[in-house]
Amino acid sequence: MTIDTPSAVLRGPAPRLDTTVRRHATAPANAPIGNAPIGNTAVGRNPSSSGLPAQHPGINTPAQATGPGGAGMPARTQLAPRPAQPPRDLALGAAELRGILRVVEDCERAPTLPAFREATLDALSRHLGYRNSAFFLGPSLEAAFQDQRPAGRGLALRMAGPFLDRYRGLEAFSDPESLRLMHERGVVTLEDIGNPVRPEIRMRMERFLRAHGIHSKLLLRLAGPANIGAVVSLLDPRPGAFGARDRAVAAVLGRHLGNLLRFHVRANTGPAVTAKLSARERDVVRLVAEGHSNRQVAEALCISIDTVKHHLTHALVATSCANRTQLALAWQREMGPSTSPAIAGPGRD
């Protein structure tokens, strides 16, 4: 990541004030420069009020220099303030900004929410070089990581099935502190998770990912609606693959893609849910929409996991939803977000 410096600043002429100060300086040539000896490594970076670099002797702190108050008065010295750090967006180069713009343009063309997820991953690969990625979606940030059918590319796509089942069970995706970190920062790498309070959480995730050939991970939370959790996971087989440049790119993308996500959630009115389901199916769908796994739903309703899957399959067919994520979103739109985290007891079939 580079910060461009205008050529005029590097090659421009010295200020006119130099000749004036040089004319009034009367200190001997071997006088010290400020409080530092000649040859200090900071030469040229802490100019005096004259604008001259510190390598000019007898200018900064002459013992009997003619100051603003007349002869014999010590001249005032003042260090130039350090330049302010540029905003994160401005620190990106032209190539990164063009890539971000093209990603957003591709995603704008997506006609539906599922197409938006696929377009996001395709555009990240095509324009920014992130070829290993996954897109998780759910009614909350924690529930997003329980997405049973996330969109995936590269390593994430090839390691679906058993890999995802074990991946969802990692403590980082249920630990309140890790979730708070993801929510507040929006961009989190593998090195951030669990530090400094619970480093063992990061170590467990690190061991799991390395066993599958993944050495770097970046999580990007899309700044979408409050009742929707959307996370793009970037993976890389190289250690330390995601640095400051990737964080800056992800921070910009999180805002713009989050705005597009809001549009798709509003536009996707979805089918009615409750009118097409039995009482037990509504119990199952409600618990799924709250982010519970099939096993948790089965334990709460005192039924088998196979029965939970059967009810979900019927609910998907009855509501014309493509997957459990769409079903959960349709339930949230119709019923509103859950006001109680408690799991309901058994209901009637």
- So what's the pLDDT on residue 57? 40
C-alpha to C-alpha distance for 216 and 236, rounded to whole angstroms: 5
Residue 310 tokens read as 């059967």
Give helix then strand counts, H and E, for the chain: 14, 5
The answer to whether the beta carbons of residues 250 and 88 sit under 8 Å apart is no
CA distances to 9, 79, 286, 324 from 15, in Å: 12, 16, 72, 68
Q: Write out residues in the chain with pLDDT < 50, as ranges.
A: 1-88, 269, 339-349
pLDDT at 240: 93
Q: Is the dihedral of CA 49, 54, 55, 60 positive or negative?
A: positive
pLDDT at 229: 87
Q: Report pLDDT for 267.
A: 59
Q: In what order do the strands lie in the sheet with 216-221?
A: 151-153, 133-138, 229-236, 216-221, 187-189
Half-sphere exposure of 127 (CA within 13 A, CB side): 22
* Cα 318–chain centre separation: 37
For residue 271, the model assigns a pLDDT of 53
What pLDDT is attached to residue 69?
45
Picking from 235, 322, 222, the residue whose alpha carbon sits closest to that of residue 271 is 322
- In three-state secondary structure terms, 301 is helix
User: How wide is the angle at C-alpha 162 spanned by C-alphas 161 and 165, nearest 5°?
Assistant: 90
Over the stretch 242-287, which tens digit does the pLDDT of each residue have? 999 999 999 999 999 999 998 887 655 455 666 678 888 888 998 9
- pLDDT reported for residue 86: 41
> What pLDDT shows up at residue 14?
43
Q: How far apart are CA 319 and CA 312, in angstroms?
A: 10
Q: How many CA atoms lie less than 13 Å away from 123 in the CB half-sphere?
A: 23
pLDDT of 305: 92
Per-residue pLDDT at 89:
52
> What is the sign, positive or negative, of the torsion defined by CA atoms of 167, 170, 172, 174?
positive
Q: Is 230 helix (H, G, I), strand (E, B) or coil?
A: strand
CA 243 – CA 345 distance, rounded (Å): 47
The predicted pLDDT at position 290 comes to: 86
Residue 162 is which amino acid? P
- Specify the pLDDT at position 209: 92
